[in-house]
């Protein structure tokens, strides 16, 4: 049976969806925007700051499910501009490293919700 994941440490859903769902020993997150969960405003700065916030939100949702960044199997990353790919990769590497980094897809989206620069979703296993 699937279980809804919710945490106050990540932005509330801005539509008809859950922050994440757990099924058996897997957790599937919704895309995490670079919104501060307290103010619902974007992280100030550019792609690096927004990437750090999106990944912090992802971490919060994963932890609420009993998972963590170290249990991420696959990410899907959406960038508003592929020109930000190298800068995004710098932050992504800070978070996930390179030794056993998750499988990943990274695509440019014509437009992200609220005109974000980045959005990240993940599939992870529950520890």
**In the predicted structure, residue 72 carries a pLDDT above the cut 90:** yes
Q: What's the number of domains the chain is made of?
A: 1
* pLDDT the model gives residue 121: 98
- Annotated catalytic residue 77: no
Instruction: Tell me what the mean pLDDT of segment 46-51 comes to.
Output: 98
Question: For residue 14, is pLDDT > 90?
Answer: no
CA distance 86 to 82: 9
The pLDDT value recorded for residue 52 is 98
Please determine, for residue 43, whether its predicted confidence score (pLDDT) is greater than 90. Answer: yes
Q: What pTM does this model have?
A: 0.97
Of the residues 106, 109, 112, 126, which is catalytic? 106
Residue 45's CATH number: 3.30.1330.40
Domain of 39, in residue numbers: 3-125
CA-based torsion, 47, 109, 82, 73: positive or negative: positive
Average pLDDT over residues 6-20: 94
> Over the chain, what is the mean pLDDT?
97
Q: By the 8 A CB rule, do 5 and 22 touch?
A: yes
């Amino acid at each position: 049976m699937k279980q809804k994941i919710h945490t106050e440490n990540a932005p509330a859903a801005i539509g008809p969806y859950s922050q994440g769902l757990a099924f058996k020993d897997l957790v599937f997150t919704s895309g995490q925007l670079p919104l501060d969960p307290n103010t619902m405003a974007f992280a100030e700065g550019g792609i690096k700051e927004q990437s750090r916030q999106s990944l912090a939100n992802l971490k919060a949702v994963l932890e609420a499910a009993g998972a963590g960044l170290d249990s991420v199997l696959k990410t899907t990353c959406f960038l508003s501009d592929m020109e930000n790919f190298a800068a995004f990769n710098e932050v992504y590497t800070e978070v996930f490293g390179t030794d056993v980094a998750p499988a990943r897809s990274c695509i440019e989206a014509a437009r992200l919700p609220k005109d974000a620069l980045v959005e990240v979703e993940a599939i992870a296993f529950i520890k």
